Amino acid sequence: MEKLPTNSGRRDFLKKTTALTAGVMGLSAFSNPLFANEKMPDPSLFVIGPLEGYSPQIGTLVSMLNYNRDTIINAVKSLSIEQLDYLHDAKANTIAALVFHLGAVDKFYQLNTFQGKQEFDKKDEAFWNDAMNLGDAGRKNIKGKEAKYYLDIIGEVRQKTLEEFKKKDDKWLLAVDPLWSKERPLNTYWKWFHVCEHESNHRGQITWIKGRMPGAKSSNE
C-alpha cells in the first residue's frame, strides 16, 4: 500500500507539484527562490501526453513507456550480480531474466508492428529465445552479468522502437491488425499498450523478489 505523506511530505509534494505545473505552463520555476534548491522531476517522465517529434497519440504512448522504463532502471541499476541472479524458488524467475525478458518483448513487438513479422528470425531467436520464454532455460542461461549488461540491451532495443515511432502516425497506431483480430478487433495501439502494462507487471515482480532476498528490509511497496 502506498504510504500517505506526512504534513511535511505534503508540503514538499505541493511545492514540487506547483513547480512542475509552472514549468508545463512555460514559467521558470527556478527563477523563484522557493524552488531554487528543489530537485525538479523530469517533465518528460511526470507529464503524460503528446511529445515533440511524435504524432499526438504516439507521443502519449511514448510518455507512458518512458515513465515505466525509468522505474525499471531505478529498480535494478544498483543491484549486484548476486542479487540479479537470486532465485527465490525452483519455479521463480530471477530479476536478471525478467529484465532481459522486457527487452525480448519489446523486440518482438518492434519486429511485428514495424516489419510485419509474426516471429523472430533465426538470428534473433538465438539471442532472445531464453529471455522470451523464461522457464528452465532462462533460469539456467541468464546469469552472471552486471545490471548494466541487461540495461544496455533493453535500452538499445527501446531506442530503436522510439526512432521507428517517429516515422509513424496515429492512423497507423489505431489501425486494427486483421491477423490478430480473428476473435476480436485488436489494433497496434493495444500491442504497444500491452508492452507498457507488461513492463508494469514485471516491475511488481521485481519489487516482490527484492523484498525477499536474504537480508532484505521490510517494505510497504
Domains delineated in the chain: 1-41 (no CATH), 47-210 (1.20.120.450)
**Cα angle value 122/125/128 (rounded, 5°):** 155
Q: For the whole model, what pTM was predicted?
A: 0.79
Please check whether residue 71 is in contact with residue 203, taking contact to mean a CB–CB distance below 8 angstroms: yes
Average pLDDT for 64-89: 96
Measured distance CA(98)–CA(86) in Å, rounded: 12
Q: Is the dihedral of CA 37, 38, 39, 41 positive or negative?
A: negative
Extract long-range pairs of 89-93: CB within 8 Å, 24+ residues apart.
Answer: 92/209, 93/134, 93/138, 93/139, 93/205
Residue type, 162: L
Please check whether residue 147 is in contact with residue 84, taking contact to mean a CB–CB distance below 8 angstroms: yes
pLDDT at 7 over 80: no
More confident residue, 58 or 25: 58
pLDDT digits (tens, 9 = 90+) for 84-120: 999 999 899 999 999 999 999 999 999 999 999 999 9
Bridge partners (DSSP) listed for residue 176: 187
3-state secondary structure of 145: coil
Measured distance CA(211)–CA(205) in Å, rounded: 10
Q: What is the mean pLDDT of the chain?
A: 84
pLDDT digits (tens, 9 = 90+) for 190-201: 999 999 999 999
Which residue, 67, 62, 145, 158, is CA-closest to 105? 158
